[in-house]
Amino acid sequence: MNDMNWLAIYPEILLLAMSCVVALVDLWVTDEQRRPTYWLTQLTLLVVGVMHFFYYDAGQTTYAMQGMVVADPMGHLLAGFACIATMVTLVYARPYAASREMLKGELFTLSLLSLLGINVMLSANNFLVIYLGLELMSLSLYALVALRRDHAVATEAAMKYFVLGALASGFLLYGLSMMYGATGSLTIPEVFDVITKGIPNKAVLVFGVVFVVAGLAFKLGAAPFHMWVPDVYQGAPTAVTLLIGGAPKLAAFAITVRLLVEGMIGLAVDWQQMLVVLSIMSLLIGNLAAIAQTNLKRMLAYSTIANMGFMLLGMASGVMNGSNEWAANAYSAAMFYAVTYVLTTLGTFGMIILLSRAGHEAEEIKDLAGLAKRSPWFALVMTLFMFSLAGVPPTVGFYAKLAVLQAMIGTGETFYLGLAIFAVVVSLVGAFYYLRVVKVMFFDAPTDTAAIAAPGDVRFVMTLNGAAVLVFGLLPSGLLELCKTAILKALST
């Protein structure tokens, strides 16, 4: 625990070094398409992702930086998925950014720095390291939202995101400071030990947990801390919206596990009640508000709120009557849900990017009218994404929802059975706005007859994205087993 162990953080060191290299190399790039910078960024992401999957396959848990960093299978698996999500996002984003004067070195450098913050959060074993990674990720995303400096809507979204993000960071930091005051430690395993042994001032602990959960709920986009999600998703350039809605959700899930499960599972009876309230509000507000939206990005923002509510149901059903018997099943279901949600989100916002062109944003639902006549293949792929978000078989979204519901029902508690029924009913109501998009694509007359022009790499990755949503729905056991193994290793250390 006292060893620096630089080997454990080689991926993060490489990512930091390459972020600086990309920023410097771009100064000499004259190509308007930024091909050298783009391919250098993609190569970096590929190498870092392979390193994380290699470490995951080794299956070892090692500590570094005098116990402040933990390199375990859960962190490596989520970091590998975060690298893939960022790679896919940049493939979708490049033609979009080029047509809006956003294709600059800053786009790639800030994307890498955001991913570095995500990696730091994924491997954090200390309150300060979590906060350091969170701020690095957040500041990079604030700057990316404002990358179109001459675009008033994007600038407004960046300001809202910055102000509300600072408020949420303050909540989290205040909660962590109270946890430190009550336990006398910033290291997560030591906090766990103190809470497990029992300490006299539990009131301070519970008060601290309230602020920690509020900060986590903001980063997840769960109600009632969701106020930034619709405005930022709609106002930010779509490529940046995808950077916000993709890999950062994996980091938010990871720090939720690190803080609440690995550090404060002794207080599960308190924070699980909070998560239940957050999930119920998120499901109601997200699904009901989405029905009224005509802007596709805003609708998907409310969809994100509802989906995060569903994921939190899994997180809230791990400890029953003081027993951790159901913990691995519940948390692996929640992790599976987070990963598959990001997979589907990449496709939905990627399709919006693909349909957009210079001078036109395909943000309204009516912009998809007649897509089946213009491009039957893309209409089919988008249908898969909508079905997955709605939880329609045989897409992966159906199995993700099923895994969470099974984890809840498996507890045998009447309350969680009722909560599962409520989640199903609200999801059925929410299916309306997903199926409305499908109806518009296949049955409405086209409002735009222009040919859909997309580079070959975008078409190829979009097809792979759609195929993955279908294949993981038909054969989910492999990915679910990866998640379960990662969670078991995290719980056992």
CA neighbor of 385 nearest in space, from 439, 346, 431, 359: 346
Q: How far apart are CA 420 and CA 314, in angstroms?
A: 10
* Four-residue CA torsion sign, 179, 314, 347, 11: positive
| Residue 292 placed within a domain | yes
> Which pLDDT does position 456 carry in this prediction?
84
Instruction: Using alpha carbons only, give the angle 203, 207, 210 rounded to the nearest 5 degrees.
Output: 145
| Residue 277 placed within a domain | yes
Residue tagged 């950014």 (tokens): 97
Segments in the chain below pLDDT 50: 1-2
> Which pLDDT does position 460 carry in this prediction?
92
| Residue 428 placed within a domain | yes
Q: How far apart are CA 362 and CA 422, in angstroms?
A: 34
| Residue 75 placed within a domain | yes
> Which pLDDT does position 58 carry in this prediction?
86
| Residue 1 placed within a domain | no
> Which pLDDT does position 359 carry in this prediction?
62
pTM passes above 0.95: no
| Residue 60 placed within a domain | yes
3-state secondary structure the chain: CCCCCHHHHHHHHHHHHHHHHHHHHHHHCCCCCCHHHHHHHHHHHHHHHHHHHHHHHHCCCEEECCCCEEECHHHHHHHHHHHHHHHHHHHHHHHHHHCCCCCCHHHHHHHHHHHHHHHHHHCECEHHHHHHHHHHHHHHHHHHHCCCCCCHHHHHHHHHHHHHHHHHHHHHHHHHHHHHHHHCCCEHHHHHHHHHHCCCCHHHHHHHHHHHHHHHHHHHCCCCCCCHHHHHHHHCCHHHHHHHHCHHHHHHHHHHHHHHHHHCHHHHHHHHHHHHHHHHHHHHHHHHHHHCCCEHHHHHHHHHHHHHHHHHHHHCCCCECCECCCHHHHHHHHHHHHHHHHHHHHHHHHHHHHHCECCECCCEHHHHCCHHHHCHHHHHHHHHHHHHHHCCCCCHHHHHHHHHHHHHHCCCCHHHHHHHHHHHHHHHHHHHHHHHHHHHHHHCCCCCCCCCCCCHHHHHHHHHHHHHHHHHHHCCHHHHHHHHHHHHHHHHC
> Which pLDDT does position 84 carry in this prediction?
94
Q: How far apart are CA 304 and CA 72, in angstroms?
A: 28
Q: Residues of 151-163 as b/e, b for ≥16 C-beta within 10 angstroms?
A: beebbebbebbbe
Q: How far apart are CA 303 and CA 287, in angstroms?
A: 6
Neighbours of 13 (CB within 10 A): 12
> Which pLDDT does position 358 carry in this prediction?
59
Beta bridge pairs of residue 323: 320
> Which pLDDT does position 401 carry in this prediction?
93
> Which pLDDT does position 81 carry in this prediction?
95
How many independent structural domains does the chain possess?
1
Tokens of residue 315, six digits = 């997180």
Contact between 357 and 455 (Cβ < 8 Å): no
Question: Which residues span the domain enclosing 166?
Answer: 6-492
